[in-house]
Amino acid sequence: MLSTGSAVFLYISYVIPLASGMLAEGNRWTEKGPFQLGVWSKPCALLATIGAGVLAYVGIQPPNEKVLYVLIGSSSGSW
């Protein structure tokens, strides 16, 4: 359970900057860094977000359903 929980938290920590960057691109985020994907930036971020969501969902399925409780407990305590 520990390795599955660690993997789920890793997926979530990977997808948070991707999703926020996807939402901010073009609106609040106008200046980009040296590496740019151009028009493929948002589709790649969306695909990575969906993929990380699927992997996190698979990680909380039985027999690892306790990972969901740890995830909910850690997110509600940090707000």
**pTM of the model as a whole:** 0.77
| Distance, CA of 4 to CA of 64 (rounded, Å) | 7
Predicted confidence at residue 44, as pLDDT, reads: 92
| Distance, CA of 3 to CA of 59 (rounded, Å) | 10
- Reduced to 3 states (helix: H, G, I; strand: E, B; else coil), residue 57 is helix
| Distance, CA of 38 to CA of 16 (rounded, Å) | 20
Which tens digits make up the pLDDT trace of 16-69?
Answer: 988 988 888 878 777 777 888 888 988 999 999 999 999 999 989 988 888 888
